[in-house]
């Protein structure tokens, strides 16, 4: 099985992504736009959710009605994934939210887990992993592995910007996970050669550090 990769290319997403990329965009605006893009991405990522049919009574007649059959889990990867939750949650208020705390070790770029409150048994049928950045893919692979160990059956990754390296790593490690991203960028920054160079493992052109830009930290 090969992973299905969805790059949005939707005009609204491309327009809003430009605001996120802009170094002049302040944290308040950045958070607003992360929220808006996340709703649009989740709309695309949930187009195959299961439905049950039932008859609904309107003031005039009866009509074919539909209800979602699968319980959804929103899984934001802390910190940067937090900004993706609220907007999506408003669209699907019965979803459960399960936080996973991971940070990337600056030197090794390997994910380090620091928070996980998943219950022993899975409580949802579809998990949407929310993380704006898919860079080396280490954090996404670790999150999906955790969810699978938990017993999650259908997992989708929803991100704003991906690097080709992250797409490759996630799709090879978890080919059953659909990957929905706003855009796939060019490459990752290499190891710095001098003091003025950016740190390794950042998406180029990207938007910088998604956590710092949302929370105003440097």
Helix (H, G, I), strand (E, B) or coil at 161: strand
Q: Among 21, 29, 104, 168, which residue sits at the site for ligand PRP (rule: CB under 6 A)?
A: 104
Q: Indicate whether 155 belongs to the interface with ligand URA (CB under 6 A).
A: no
What are the tokens at 31? Answer: 């958070």
Residue list 117-136, contact with ligand PRP (CB under 6 A): 131-136
25 or 123: whose CB is closer to ligand PRP? 25
Angle ∠(88,25,101) on CA atoms, nearest 5: 45
User: Tokens for 179?
Assistant: 């990957």
Tokens of 38: 């996340």
Query: 54-113: which residues touch ligand URA (CB under 6 A)?
Result: 80
77 binds ligand PRP, rule: CB under 6 A: yes
**Which regions of the chain does DSSP assign to beta strands (E)?**
5-7, 51-57, 62-68, 72-78, 96-97, 100-104, 111-116, 126-130, 133-134, 154-162, 178-184, 187-188, 203-204
- Catalytic option among 25, 104, 123, 176: 104
Which residues contribute to the site for ligand URA (CB under 6 A)? 80, 133, 135, 202-203, 206, 209-211
Which residues contribute to the site for ligand PRP (CB under 6 A)? 77-80, 102-104, 109, 111, 131-140, 166, 201, 209-211
Q: Which residues are the active-site residues?
A: 104, 108, 209, 212
């Amino acid at each position: 099985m090969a992973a299905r990769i969805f790059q949005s290319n939707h005009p609204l997403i491309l327009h809003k992504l430009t605001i996120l990329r802009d170094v002049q965009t302040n944290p308040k605006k950045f958070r607003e736009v992360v929220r808006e893009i996340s709703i649009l991405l989740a709309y695309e990522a949930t187009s195959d959710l299961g439905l049950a049919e039932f008859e609904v009574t309107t003031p005039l007649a009866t009509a074919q009605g539909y209800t979602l059959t699968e319980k959804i889990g929103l899984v934001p990867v802390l910190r940067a994934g937090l900004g993706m939750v609220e907007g999506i949650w408003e669209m699907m208020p019965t979803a459960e939210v399960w936080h996973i705390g991971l940070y990337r070790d600056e030197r090794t770029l390997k994910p380090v887990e620091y928070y996980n409150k998943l219950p022993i048994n899975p409580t949802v049928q579809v998990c949407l992993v929310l993380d704006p950045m898919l860079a080396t893919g280490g954090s996404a692979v670790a999150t999906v592995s955790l969810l699978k160990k938990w017993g999650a059956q259908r997992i989708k990754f929803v991100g704003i910007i991906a690097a080709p390296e992250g797409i490759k790593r996630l799709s090879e490690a978890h080919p059953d996970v659909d990957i929905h991203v706003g855009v796939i960028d060019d490459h990752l920054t290499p190891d710095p050669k001098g003091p003025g160079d950016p740190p390794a493992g950042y998406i180029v052109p990207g938007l910088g550090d998604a956590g710092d830009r949302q929370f105003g930290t440097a």
